[in-house]
Amino acid sequence: MAPVIQECHRRPGVEPIVCFTGQHREMVAQVAAYFGIEPDLDLDLMVPNQTLGSLTSRCLDLLDQTVRKYSPDCIIAQGDTTTVMVASMAAFYHRVPFVHVEAGLRTGDLYSPWPEEFNRRVAGLVANLHCAPTNRAAENLLNEGVAAEQVYVTGNTVIDALLWTIDRERTSGEQWIEKYSTLTRPKMVLITGHRRENFGAGFSQICDAVGLLAKKFSETDFVYPVHLNPNVQEPVREALGDIENVHLVPPASYPEFVWLMDRAYLVLTDSGGVQEEAPSLRKPVLVMRDTTERPEAVDAGGVELVGASCVNIVRAASHLLQDPVEYSRRQIDSNPYGDGNSARRIMELVESRGWESQTSVRIAA
């Protein structure tokens, strides 16, 4: 959302109201500072060990109060989190137009990714403007019966943010060079893993795969920024903590992670956004999930689905680390998810809707 918020500030008569819910507070604070974003309010809704149900109900209550207080002309949210689903519900209850950025991604399986596939579908039910990142995402919406005049292909704003960040970090990344001075081997594999559906047996398989790869490719560094969730921390540190060329580091800030992607030879991930970002940097990606709502990069050859399977992860990673011809084939030159101008397109669409009821357009983001 950072590029959308920045685009709002560039447009006379547009007043963005930036709302943080309080999830991943440290990570969000770093990103906000990096992009120069000051939140107008922070709902501070997180409590220890809350369930998805309690998170949803608490978030809905607080966002309901927020919409009532600010009376925005529209609400914009991006992606597939519980916050996004609840924001769409709050907009619906108050009859405020809802703009869904990164709309139309689907796997067809409500339980994979879980609960994100469900969250996206709920948001899609009430959205007044669907900003789809790709033609396929737009087709998904049209096939579900969404009116064509509500669906536009804008690209994804995560690519806007990535391109802006990589230009900055390539010229001023000395702090990361110093921080990762221990990465002295010729190649580096970057790993992320945090999906709920992989908790338990899935993470055991992923950790086993990374351990085997690290021992097989001793001249390669394996960097794993480990998510703070205990369901991730405990199995990862137990399985990989004593392997010399595996570097378990705290969760990386956004610019730091972009720098690591740019430095990496290969990316192993179960994340959604990384599937879009890494191909922009011509980095092959192995997705440790059985399904993906982002099939475009798979079709282009830059991404391969390997599941949370030790055998599949080791096989596919070994192939790319050993075969330069196959590696080169996986480096795609054109990212299907955007060209860096998505936020401008989105705001042009928002302003063209004529939703404003005041002199300035108040947008809750």
* Structure confidence at residue 27 (pLDDT): 75
- Chain centre to alpha carbon of residue 174: 25
Say yes or no to pLDDT of 360 above 80. no
- Chain segment 106-119, per-residue pLDDT in tens: 999 998 888 999 99
End-to-end CA distance of the chain: 8
Q: What percent of the chain has pLDDT over 90?
A: 76
Asked whether residue 16 falls in the same domain as residue 117, the answer is yes
Say yes or no to pLDDT of 124 above 80. yes
Among residues 196, 237, 282, 353, which one is catalytic? 196
Among residues 130, 227, 289, 345, which one is catalytic? 227
Asked whether residue 93 falls in the same domain as residue 206, the answer is no
Q: How confident is the model at residue 221 (pLDDT cuts 50, 70, 90)?
A: very high
Asked whether residue 256 falls in the same domain as residue 316, the answer is yes
* Structure confidence at residue 301 (pLDDT): 93
Angle between helix axes 273-280 and 254-263 (nearest 10 degrees) is: 50
CA dist 253 and 24 (Å) reads: 11
* Structure confidence at residue 173 (pLDDT): 83
Q: What percent of the chain has pLDDT over 70?
A: 96
Among residues 7, 15, 116, 277, which one is catalytic? 116
Among residues 7, 15, 80, 208, which one is catalytic? 80
Q: What radius of gyration do the chain's Cα atoms show?
A: 20
Say yes or no to pLDDT of 86 above 60. yes
The alpha helices in the chain, defined as continuous H runs, are 2-9, 25-35, 52-70, 82-93, 116-126, 135-143, 157-172, 174-179, 201-216, 230-240, 254-263, 273-280, 296-300, 310-322, 324-329, 342-352
* Structure confidence at residue 338 (pLDDT): 92
Among residues 73, 102, 221, 262, which one is catalytic? 102
Say yes or no to pLDDT of 100 above 60. yes
Number of domains present in the structure of the chain? 2
Asked whether residue 139 falls in the same domain as residue 37, the answer is yes
Asked whether residue 143 falls in the same domain as residue 46, the answer is yes
Q: Which residues pair with 41 in a beta bridge?
A: 19
Residue 221 annotated in active site = no
141 or 291, which is more confident: 141
Asked whether residue 12 falls in the same domain as residue 148, the answer is yes
Q: Which residues pair with 304 in a beta bridge?
A: 286
Say yes or no to pLDDT of 10 above 90. yes
* Structure confidence at residue 196 (pLDDT): 64
Residue 196 annotated in active site = yes
* Structure confidence at residue 364 (pLDDT): 56
Q: How confident is the model at residue 225 (pLDDT cuts 50, 70, 90)?
A: very high
C-beta separation of 5 from 16 below 8 A: yes
As a whole number, the mean pLDDT across the chain is: 92
Among residues 106, 120, 194, 345, which one is catalytic? 194
The DSSP element (H or E) to which 132 belongs, if any, is strand 129-132
Q: Look up the domain containing 119 and give its range.
A: 2-156+339-364
* Structure confidence at residue 195 (pLDDT): 65
In a domain, 163, yes or no: no
User: Which residues lie closer than 8 Å to 278 by C-beta, 6 or more apart?
Assistant: 261, 264, 267, 269, 284, 285, 302
In a domain, 346, yes or no: yes
Q: What is the DSSP letter of 149?
A: G
* Structure confidence at residue 359 (pLDDT): 41
Asked whether residue 193 falls in the same domain as residue 52, the answer is no
Say yes or no to pLDDT of 323 above 90. yes
In a domain, 164, yes or no: no
**Average pLDDT score over residue span 65-90:** 95
3-state secondary structure of 187: strand
* Structure confidence at residue 187 (pLDDT): 97
Q: How confident is the model at residue 18 (pLDDT cuts 50, 70, 90)?
A: very high
pTM for the full model? 0.86
Number of H helices, E strands in the chain: 16, 14
Asked whether residue 10 falls in the same domain as residue 150, the answer is yes
CA dist 241 and 246 (Å) reads: 8
Asked whether residue 46 falls in the same domain as residue 184, the answer is no
Q: Is 53 exposed, middle or buried (0-12, 13-18, 19+ CB in 10 A)?
A: exposed
Handedness of CA 53, 27, 3, 354 (dihedral sign): positive
In a domain, 334, yes or no: no
- Chain segment 143-163, per-residue pLDDT in tens: 999 999 999 999 999 999 999
Q: How confident is the model at residue 357 (pLDDT cuts 50, 70, 90)?
A: low
Residue 247 annotated in active site = no
- Chain segment 236-279, per-residue pLDDT in tens: 899 899 999 999 999 898 999 999 999 999 999 988 889 999 99
* Structure confidence at residue 363 (pLDDT): 60
- Chain centre to alpha carbon of residue 283: 16
Q: Domain with 273 in it: what CATH number?
A: 3.40.50.2000
Residue 116 annotated in active site = yes
